Amino acid sequence: MDHPLFAEAREHFIRAFLLVQKDLQTLFDYIEPSDQNLPCHSFRIHELLLRTCIEIEANCKAVLRENGYTASGDWNMRDYRKLNASHRLSSYEVRIPVWRGNKSQRQPFANWATGKALPWYTAYNATKHDRHESFDQATFQHLTDAVCGLVALLTAQFLHHEFPGKAVTPVGDGRYDGFRMAIGGFFEVKMACDWPPEERYFFNWNELATLSDPFDQFDYSRVS
């Protein structure tokens, strides 16, 4: 994770997430993180939903670009969904530790496993292009789902490493329910553990580290 060729300017993406997390925690001072408040909507929620989804798009584009993806036109969710083949985001679970009720655990990319749209991303697009008519879709649920999606996406790329040389100290060892502390030290995340046997592999980093470029590109153009 600390290798300079692993990702370009990852601190840029992590800093942006930390600001989103900070602003969400501030929002929690005014909207109690609980099941009862999932349907509520506001301008503050709308603002943070837009910022969060923009960060998700930025991260997806960075992964595709660094792996040589060159599809023509403006990339959209059909392109971003290709990351599920390499990162298995649909299996990631994220927990909001201060949540009251049954919705503390989210699986923000679950719909990608069946090729369906992500409700929180659909809401983001609707409120971005026509806020007046779709404003009520900027809900607390869509916002918290989106932020959980950003947590999952960062974990899939960087595990618990915030910046080069600095890793978040995980709480527990994952033996009990599989959740570990995520980047930012607030959310908890359970990584994908259902990889098919044919997609599992082992590598010797001590050997790979001696190469000038130890990273292979993932061919996203071959993912439907």
Phi-psi group of 60: left, alpha or beta (phi > 0 → left; psi -120 to 50 → alpha; rest → beta):
alpha
In angstroms, the CA 194 to CA 89 distance is 11
Q: Tens digit of pLDDT for each residue in 145-201?
A: 999 999 999 999 998 877 766 666 555 555 558 899 999 999 999 998 888 888 887
In angstroms, the CA 209 to CA 218 distance is 19
pLDDT for the residue numbered 170: 58
**Which residue, 58, 142, 77, 61, is CA-closest to 116?**
77
